[in-house]
Amino acid sequence: MENVSRKKGPGEWSRVILLALIMVIILFGSKCEALEVWVTNPWLSMLTRFIGGVQVTVQPVVTWGEKGEMVKARKIPPTGAVVITLDPVEGTRLLGKGFEGKFQVFFLFDRMPSVTDVDESFMDPAALPFIGLRILQILSSCKPGEYDYFQRRLAEFQARLDSTVIVGRNMIGESAILDLCWKYGRWLQAASGRTVRPPSHVKEEWSRSEAMNVLDTALDEARRQGWIVAVDPWTPDVVRERLGENPRYIELPPPRMEEDFILFLYDQYLRIWDFLRRNP
């Protein structure tokens, strides 16, 4: 019997390719589906979005307002949702009693440090890689097959974080800064070797309008030495009022939920560099 072979025409090849694509979608479509994660802290949401990349969709339970204030989102997690919260106390406060029975919950801390320490940790280049590692562990437990992907995202985050600090040191490293920031201070300190940073207990006194003579002395010294005075969105009004007409005062902007975390961090250094360029 004679074997007859025939070349496939363009139309037949198109059907073969289409069928192959359909099979790929059927076989691997579920693997490409992003994991939905609900996060109770806006700093944590920004970092989780970076580590999760395309494999994770982050739904913030709390967002940033225009002035950096925390605003509770209108949407709440559905029953059974994956929820990441700082600790059980925060989870109860934002999601109600018994929330651990309603959701698949992961805690960043078994017991959270003070709120001030946590907020500053998200602006501390020494602490951020460890927070990122914990996020990697949480996301990998939910999507074990994407561990390598999350690991690459964490490595990228750390590399970009280190390079941003180096760039910041080149931009502002020799400039003296009086740090009156309530949350950005450790990030400034990472780049400037001449940051004057009041102790936490002193800042707490200032926020209660106590020991204001110490603040006035610090501001007088800053004027005399030509230091930059930096504040952030959370610096209390009672402290801002003491700044007066200081020409070397700069206010750093609040974060925005949609921002890339590293670009947001870089922007703080860029703004100081631009201020120095315009106010030598």
CATH of domain 170-278: 3.40.50
Give the pLDDT band of residue 4 (cuts 50, 70, 90): very low
pLDDT in tens, 210-255: 999 999 999 999 999 999 999 999 999 999 999 987 778 999 999 9
**Mean pLDDT calculated for residue range 176-205:** 93
Least confident stretch, 88-92, 117-121, 223-227: 117-121
Residue 133 has pLDDT above 50, yes or no: yes
Range(s) within the chain of domains with CATH label 3.40.50.1980: 31-163
Partners of 70 in beta bridges: 64
Partners of 129 in beta bridges: none
Cα separations (Å) of 89 from 58, 73, 103?
Answer: 21, 19, 15
Sign of the torsion formed by the C-alpha atoms of 263, 264, 269 and 273: positive
Other C-beta atoms lying within 10 Å of the C-beta of residue 41: 23
Residue 32 has pLDDT above 70, yes or no: no
Residue 156 has pLDDT above 90, yes or no: yes
Q: Could you give the CA distance from residue 59 to residue 104 in angstroms, rounded to a whole number?
A: 14
SS3 72: strand
Burial of 168 (0-12, 13-18, 19+ CB in 10 A): buried
pTM of the model: 0.83
Structure tokens at 200: 């936490």
DSSP 8-state code for residue 76: -
- CB-based contact 138:55 (threshold 8 Å): no
pLDDT in tens, 14-30: 555 555 555 544 444 44
**Mean pLDDT calculated for residue range 58-68:** 93
Q: Which fold has domain 31-163?
A: Rossmann fold (3.40.50)
